[in-house]
Structure 1
Amino acid sequence: MILPRDLIPFPTGRNGSDTAIHNVHFNLTTLREWNYTLYTNGTLSNGSRCYLTPPPYTPVELLSNGTFVNATSCYNPVDPIGPRAATGVAFGVAYGLCLIGILVNLNKHGRLHLPAEKRFRPIGRRWQWYWAIWVVATAFVGLFTTVDVDRFRVVGLPIILTSFFWFLMQQGAMALVWEAVRHWGSWQERQFIDPDPFVLPDDDRRSKVEFWLPLWFYLWLWLNFFLIIPRNWGQIQLQRDPDQAASHARPAATDARFKAAAFCLVVCWLTILFSLRHSIHHYKPRNRGWINKTCGLFRYTPLRFKLILPLALVVVGFQIFVSFSFANSILNAVGNLGSIYAGGYGPILLILVIQIAWGLRTPNEDKELVRQRRKRGEQTDREMGIVRKPAWWRRVNAAGRHDPSDISGGGRHGGTVEMAPIGGGSPRARQDSGAGLVDMSAKPTTSTPSPYAGKSERRRVERARTAAAGILFPNPEAQAAELEIQAARRAEAMREGPAPPPYPSDSSRRRESRTATDVPGSAERAAGNEAVTPPAAVHPTPIRSMLDI
């Protein structure tokens, strides 16, 4: 009888109906009746049940109903962890530590300090950190599942889970790099138009490219997803012996769908590179000539992208490599560990570390925009010759404004209105501040100033404030000082003669002219009086002081 290469005949026993497996005798007739076969990897299976035969897991007895006594299932994790599992746990811990830095940066850069704008939504700056969390989660699950890849004597579900989450991690890593580059271009645009929001049109070729480019990238990324994830993964776990792996697992792991999916990531990487070039072309200084443009592309590319873009290319190249080489593939349960971790997990871990370091070193975008606006304002002030008072100046003046004794119509010093004390302070200080100027015709019998009849709105408000303060906070000493000041000013004004007569207001003049017109003979009498009065009798009113104006 010709058996498959992964099957072996039962060893001979005492007679034709007996077999000895690792020195334990079983009824051969019962084994054949229940369709049990012995495999080269030391397992005994009938298609629905599988048991380990090597010591110390060899069953002690077989019952007539096909049940083994003291048997161990093939799918129990009985072996110790090996190099693949130990390395996977170390990488899993490293990815877990990266999660802390990612959450810190998400909280730092995702927080708003300015009102949200329709053109630059806050979700745009957070997507790179959301994809980083996705990468860490998938890597964490896939790496810790490698523990069961080593512990299972028979390859089963763990190798499928490890491969499944590894491909999801690859897609998340490419999306992370894309969102980092795309958002950097959006940030450059925001800084570019912040001084002048109308410097760029909204319907030009640039805006249309920025609208369609994300759709183009995610189209190819989803093609990679649909070519890999929805498939029959059962063939991948058929690696229970070298012959089975060569006949079943290897063709499934290197089929045309894996190859096409890997080349979809090439389109994604080229799209990322085009997006970077597009942002530099539109939001950085222009260069003439191909040589200068190439040099400008490297000059204006941030150091972060100079590091993560080659690493992303390594990610793409490794997926292409494993779609042709099963010996170095992560889908191989006994594959090359150096290739699996150096090419499959190492570059993505470095991308996360670079992103975290960049996030910790750079400020929040809203705060940076506020700093740039303040810097532009200071530059404009210097050009216009405006000198701003320091912060402590405002604090000191703000503390003084809360004192009721500082309410007065003071002068203007340093861009702020200072109020002289009411009912307090020396008379000289109040005289210098210009507060309490009253009409010379008022009688100094009360401290309440007379109504202001001038045209200065500021003086009228100051006079009303002074009157209100005198009523609310009466101070005999201040009233006496006020009377002394008024008396001194009146004496100064009367030094050269009496005060001029009061000038008639506009309303009285109109009333006199109307009376002269309406009353018969009034105009003639007025004309006659003017004719009789000699010119020498009219004396001009002398101006005694500035208070007469």
Structure 2
Amino acid sequence: MSSSHIWGSIPFPPGDNDTDTAFGGGHFNLTVLNELDYHLFENGTVSNFTKCFLAFQPYTPTYLFPNGTFQNHTSCYTALYPIGVRSGTGIGFGVLFGIALILTLVNLRKHGALYVERSKRFFPISRRWQWYWSIIVCGLALVSLFTNVDVDRYYVMNNPIIFTSFFWFLMQFGIISLVWEAVRHWGSWNERQIVDANPYAVRQEGRRYNTELLLPIFFYFWVWLNFFLIIPRSWTSIQLQRSPEQILIRAKPAATDGRFKAAGFCLFVAWLTIIGSLAHSIKHLHTRRDGAVGKVMDTCRSVPIRFVLLLLLALFIVAFQILVAFQWDYSPLNAKGNVVAIYMGGYVPTLLILAVQTVYGFIAPNEDLELIRQRRERGEETNRELGIVPKPSWWSRLRGNNQPASMRDIVARNVNEISGKQRTAPAPQPASDASPTGPGGGDVELTEPLNKSGSQPMSPGAEGAPPYGTPSYGGSSEQRRTERTMRQAPGILFPASDPASPSRAEEEAPPSYDESTARRGVSRNGSERGTTPSISNQPPQQIRSMLDV
């Protein structure tokens, strides 16, 4: 192939004879160069489109072997130049994105921690996704910026421009997803607060619920369409910026083709979806006045200032991606593009979004802790309405209840309370006739209970007194009340066993046979019924525990 048909190639200069050529201060076999299809280019390189070597001093090869191998050669794809403006600016932005990555990890640890029980309706990953996307964006930005360093240093453009452009587009994909997750979770957080106060306030059905299920699918459809229009393609043409002719014929048309243009508009549809999600959350979860003007004003007041900044910066990102699909001079794919435009439009909005998220993360509390605070405030408000004054924290320690009792002690205390067992026997109090509380002279709680006629009960030996008469007791009022209850329980549970209250059969009609015989368990014909004892002839049942009841 003639060298005139190759872009940027020039004829080999003549040498000492017809089979010799001289360039870069050395002489080489022209016949071998032609046989292996080597060409000399205007930028001082010699290449056969498989191998490329520098052909100027001090990188010129010293000798060419008959098999086409150069001795002491230097590859064209070598970082020869120092760091330029684009590379130095990229290093500075890389440091800023590294700091943003560290702060994002701190916020993820703060807001991702759980302090309340997990709910099937609100998953913890919902609040973590915005921080996950922040980490992804920081990582992609670091790769894009540090591979951008070699864009200025390479003598012949090769893979660095592809790597920095590839990860830059992925970064745009991630930052829009970050804004989406922040807005979507804000609506979920509002719903969670409402449901925590009233579980039936927001139902999981209807148009609102179905819309919230479909909005994420619709958003990620357009974002992934942007991804598939840009990423899975041949990037070889982007690196062909080795001469002005290559840029015009290969690199520029590839960087401004229809796929890049369509991808930018897909990202704009995704941005509009974020606006729709925000409006949907405000409509269903925030109170608005009637009337068009009132609704618009209430909607604007309901939007947090954080989302105003995020949405404006995200719109600027979308607009810049559409711009570079039409203007080659401002595109990050252009190795010699406008550095100010590349960083101000391609990296500054993303960095500002991360900064806004970081400030919000440090200011806003953990959602679980905020939910606990709201529950405590609602409980205090309910106590105030009911007039309940909670005891201070030192109350239990003052009363001696600060030590947890063992299960054995709890069971023993319950048994003693039921059985009425006296633990201490205080000295009997002397009787006083002038005591207004009765003959015992004690407190009202220590006196004997009055009978139906209002008089004191009879002693066990008195006539007509029940067989289980009231014994003398000198314990505390609580113990005496327990003992009195235990004595009265048989008569309540088994009325027939109380001699003082006749059975219903005795009240309605007299028995047709001898009462004494019936009570002894003897039938009319004189046969003894030993297997059927009379209830009224049994002693009163003494209840010792709740199991007897």
Instruction: Tell me if 1:347 matches 2:349.
Output: yes
Aligned to 1:382: 384
1:308 to 288, 307, 310: 310
What letter corresponds to residue 168 of structure 1 in structure 2?
L
Aligned to 2:181: 179
- Per the alignment, in what secondary structure is the counterpart of residue 30 of structure 1? helix
Distance 1:154 1:511, change over 3 A: same
Instruction: Tell me if 1:501 matches 2:446.
Output: no
Offset of residue 135 of structure 1: 0.7
Distance 1:361 1:398, change over 3 A: farther
- Per the alignment, in what secondary structure is the counterpart of residue 327 of structure 2? coil
Aligned to 2:324: 322
Q: Tell me whether 312-321 or 59-68 shows the greater mean CA deviation.
A: 59-68
Aligned to 1:230: 232
Offset of residue 486 of structure 1: 8.1
Q: Which residues of 2 match residues 78-117 of structure 1 at below 5 A?
A: 78-117=80-119
- Per the alignment, in what secondary structure is the counterpart of residue 493 of structure 1? coil
- Per the alignment, in what secondary structure is the counterpart of residue 388 of structure 2? coil
Aligned to 1:483: 427
Distance 1:14 1:192, change over 3 A: same
Partners of 1:398 and 1:285 in 2: CA distance? 50
Aligned to 2:284: 282
Aligned to 1:241: 243
Aligned to 1:169: 171
Aligned to 1:529: none
Instruction: Tell me if 1:148 matches 2:92.
Output: no
Aligned to 1:358: 360
8 Å contact kept, 2:21–2:29: yes
- Per the alignment, in what secondary structure is the counterpart of residue 20 of structure 1? strand
Aligned to 1:333: 335
What letter corresponds to residue 228 of structure 1 in structure 2?
I
Partners of 1:248 and 1:214 in 2: CA distance? 38
Partners of 1:332 and 1:208 in 2: CA distance? 45
Q: Alpha-carbon deviations, 1:9-58, whole Å to 9, x = none? A: 22233344332213222232222222110112221101111001222211
What letter corresponds to residue 391 of structure 2 in structure 1?
K
Distance 1:488 1:60, change over 3 A: farther
1:29 to 24, 28, 31: 31
1:39 to 41, 44, 49: 41
Partners of 2:376 and 2:225 in 1: CA distance? 47
Instruction: Tell me if 1:518 matches 2:520.
Output: no
Q: TM-score under structure 1 normalisation? A: 0.78
Aligned to 1:199: 201
1:124 to 123, 126, 130: 126
- Per the alignment, in what secondary structure is the counterpart of residue 157 of structure 2? coil
What letter corresponds to residue 78 of structure 2 in structure 1?
N
Aligned to 2:485: none
Distance 1:345 1:400, change over 3 A: closer
Q: Alpha-carbon deviations, 1:58-97, whole Å to 9, x = none? A: 1122222211111101123233222212211221121111
Offset of residue 401 of structure 1: 5.6
What letter corresponds to residue 213 of structure 1 in structure 2?
L
Offset of residue 514 of structure 1: 6.3
- Per the alignment, in what secondary structure is the counterpart of residue 14 of structure 2? coil
Offset of residue 298 of structure 1: 2.0
What letter corresponds to residue 94 of structure 2 in structure 1?
G
Offset of residue 489 of structure 1: 11
Offset of residue 201 of structure 1: 2.6
8 Å contact kept, 2:396–2:402: no
Aligned to 1:448: none
Q: Alpha-carbon deviations, 1:448-483, whole Å to 9, x = none? A: xxxxxxxxxx9x96585763x55xxxxxxxx4xx11
Partners of 1:385 and 1:246 in 2: CA distance? 83
Partners of 1:276 and 1:489 in 2: CA distance? 86
- Per the alignment, in what secondary structure is the counterpart of residue 25 of structure 1? strand
8 Å contact kept, 2:143–2:167: yes
Partners of 1:395 and 1:388 in 2: CA distance? 15
- Per the alignment, in what secondary structure is the counterpart of residue 394 of structure 2? helix
1:188 to 184, 187, 190: 190
Partners of 1:32 and 1:489 in 2: CA distance? 142
Partners of 1:242 and 1:262 in 2: CA distance? 27
Partners of 2:29 and 2:431 in 1: CA distance? 136
What RMSD in Å do the two structures reach over aligned CA positions? 3.0
Partners of 1:284 and 1:189 in 2: CA distance? 10
What letter corresponds to residue 483 of structure 1 in structure 2?
A
Q: Tell me whether 276-285 or 192-201 shows the greater mean CA deviation.
A: 192-201
Offset of residue 144 of structure 1: 0.9
Distance 1:246 1:402, change over 3 A: closer
Structure 2 gap segments, 5+ residues each? 442-446, 448-454, 460-464, 467-490, 516-549
What letter corresponds to residue 243 of structure 2 in structure 1?
D
Offset of residue 389 of structure 1: 2.0
Distance 1:112 1:59, change over 3 A: same
Partners of 2:13 and 2:262 in 1: CA distance? 47
Q: Alpha-carbon deviations, 1:227-275, whole Å to 9, x = none? A: 0111111111111112111110000000000000010000000000111
Distance 1:495 1:202, change over 3 A: closer
Q: TM-score under structure 2 normalisation? A: 0.78
Q: Alpha-carbon deviations, 1:404-461, whole Å to 9, x = none? A: 9xx99xxxxxxxxxxxxx9xxxxxxxxxxxxxxxxxxxxxxxxxxxxxxxxxxx9x96
Distance 1:208 1:513, change over 3 A: closer
Identity in percent? 50
Aligned to 1:268: 270
Offset of residue 510 of structure 1: 3.7
Aligned length: 461
1:210 to 200, 209, 212: 212
Aligned to 2:259: 257
Q: Alpha-carbon deviations, 1:478-516, whole Å to 9, x = none? A: x4xx11458789986326999641564552224588678
Partners of 1:324 and 1:36 in 2: CA distance? 36
Aligned to 1:77: 79
Partners of 2:156 and 2:317 in 1: CA distance? 30
Q: Tell me whether 489-498 or 167-176 shows the greater mean CA deviation.
A: 489-498
Partners of 2:216 and 2:266 in 1: CA distance? 15
What letter corresponds to residue 511 of structure 2 in structure 1?
D
Aligned to 2:521: none
Partners of 1:139 and 1:512 in 2: CA distance? 96
Q: Tell me whether 356-365 or 394-403 shows the greater mean CA deviation.
A: 394-403
Distance 1:488 1:101, change over 3 A: farther
Distance 1:67 1:368, change over 3 A: same
Structure 1 gap segments, 5+ residues each? 409-421, 423-457, 471-478, 523-549
Offset of residue 386 of structure 1: 1.4
Distance 1:487 1:136, change over 3 A: farther
